[in-house]
Structure 1
């Protein structure tokens, strides 16, 4: 779903349940919804913003630390708010760089967009940024290389279900003869990649059991209890690894890609900045994102500490 990104906060609650199952614990990094520095950056400084959830803040600090190590001055304004707020900040030059998600950003700029695969979404996003729509000035911002890592909706099953029915992709569900139900937010009943999409793309009939926690503890509990056989859990959610869940492959790209990508003001995108951030993006995988969130939710490390350790470990 085109989530407002509250799902990652809900993931902390999901890990609280995982504590009952696999000795996890919940929490977040405790960062308030605040700015870390003054207003607009100086002409030789890149001000990096983030949305108001831990994953975005961690990525913002990663960008900052990697750029600083490359000799680029940076400052960070973490936890600005939701997409409408930080995109407005980018347009107004309060910030010049922010980590983004390709599919959701495309939908924000062009609600009629239909691209779904990683390459198609990225290409459509580049085109949308050239016009800017009513959200950004035309041609004033661009995206750099996208990461292989995604934080997207997914159809997720237990390992027991996967092995029992030989299911590793959505296409495999057509051979499962038992009734199928999906745990997800209520809008999954009508979303193109929800219940209707399963039927139209894969020929799979399923019913929805609604939970309004964006793949959080109630959804997870229903999956583990077999109250539902599938659940919409975001791909970077640490509960997937903690509970040995299986994220089903989506060969027809029913769910739009949500690759991590730096969104930057074009006048700040120097060769050095591009080279550094492209190298960062190449190393950010979905597994890396999940590990970062485990450090945030379970180990209760701050976003900047997680970022600093990641940058050092990856040779920047």
Structure 2
């Protein structure tokens, strides 16, 4: 072989060696929002992908919604759990009733994000983390209260009821007034304990402790304290509130590089109903268990160990 041929062959091999790592897909940058649920869901994603042999980089609990949203659009992160209802605000469609239907909200969110940002929404959880009206567990069990229709019947038939909520929830046309109009009940001023701020921890505590005869509370659907404090979410069967189902969202080019992501994550999120997510959040928020451990134990229960 001539010196020139040897040089060309050596040069070609060198280029291939140099190009190999560059052409290979990098680790999937997994992120989440900064709250308790974000930590739990983020750890589930991170651990399950890592177990499946997909390289990952941990950026869990990166920040609030605007932080992670801008990061995925900029390509700084690759995947994080988002909520279907938030897509209404991302795409300036908050006034549309489509967001109150779980299937339609998911489909709309997926279509809008794919077209605008090449972001793919994977299968959502069954849980709905939206504004909710909850009641004490003993009241729910004694009166078979499961839905807001049940609660309306109980109130309209003279049942003792006092509700703790923020001023925003009481006054906002889309919150308590919307529930009252849709389900046909009215709470007078004596039946309301209006608390400053919008922290559901305060309303949950008021109902759980039965302060001032309070036996109902403004909550979010998957609040970690619900299970621990024995409060029951009343199902919004008429769809008064927008649906906020958590779902992994991922940049399309990353999903193309690692198509197994879909296969790994879909059964996990499909298993997360309202009570399950309440319980998992409660282990962190109430019992102080690390989100990493809660996620690991749950994945093991699903056979992901």
What band does the TM-score fall into relative to the shorter chain? 0.7 to 0.9
Offset of residue 218 of structure 1:
4.5
Matched, 1:256 2:242: yes
Return 5+ residue gaps in structure 2 as ranges. 1-23
Offset of residue 216 of structure 1:
0.9
Matched, 1:117 2:101: yes
The number of residues matched between the two structures is 269
Offset of residue 249 of structure 1:
1.7
Deviations 1:157-183 (A, max 9, x none): 123433555533211334324475532
Cα distance, 1:139–1:89 mapped onto 2, change above 3 Å: closer
1:194-233 correspondence to structure 2 within 5 Å: 194-207=175-188, 208-211=192-195, 212-222=197-207, 224-225=210-211, 227-233=213-219
Q: Which residue of structure 2 aligns with residue 173 of structure 1?
A: 151
Offset of residue 144 of structure 1:
0.5
> Equivalents in 2 of 1:107, 1:70: separation in Å?
34
Instruction: Give the one of 122, 126, 150 matched to 1:148.
Output: 126
The answer to whether the Cα contact below 8 Å between 2:38 and 2:81 also exists between their aligned partners in 1 is yes
Matched, 1:234 2:220: yes
The answer to whether the Cα contact below 8 Å between 1:106 and 1:128 also exists between their aligned partners in 2 is no
Larger relative helix fraction? 2
Q: Which residue of structure 2 aligns with residue 100 of structure 1?
A: 82
Paired residue secondary structure (1:269): helix
Matched, 1:81 2:63: yes
User: More deviation in 165-174 or 277-286?
Assistant: 165-174
Cα distance, 1:104–1:230 mapped onto 2, change above 3 Å: farther
TM-score by length of 1: 0.77
User: More deviation in 108-117 or 248-257?
Assistant: 108-117
Matched, 1:56 2:29: no
Instruction: Give the one of 272, 276, 279 matched to 2:267.
Output: 279
> Equivalents in 2 of 1:59, 1:87: separation in Å?
16
> Equivalents in 2 of 1:206, 1:169: separation in Å?
17
Return 5+ residue gaps in structure 1 as ranges. 1-41, 132-137
Offset of residue 89 of structure 1:
0.6
> Equivalents in 2 of 1:166, 1:149: separation in Å?
21
> Equivalents in 2 of 1:297, 1:272: separation in Å?
32
> Equivalents in 1 of 2:44, 2:138: separation in Å?
37
The answer to whether the Cα contact below 8 Å between 1:182 and 1:230 also exists between their aligned partners in 2 is yes
User: More deviation in 287-296 or 175-184?
Assistant: 175-184
TM-score by length of 2: 0.79
> Equivalents in 1 of 2:212, 2:170: separation in Å?
20
> Equivalents in 1 of 2:34, 2:129: separation in Å?
15
The answer to whether the Cα contact below 8 Å between 2:204 and 2:226 also exists between their aligned partners in 1 is no
Q: Which residue of structure 2 aligns with residue 186 of structure 1?
A: 167
Matched, 1:90 2:72: yes
The answer to whether the Cα contact below 8 Å between 1:49 and 1:80 also exists between their aligned partners in 2 is yes
Offset of residue 222 of structure 1:
4.4
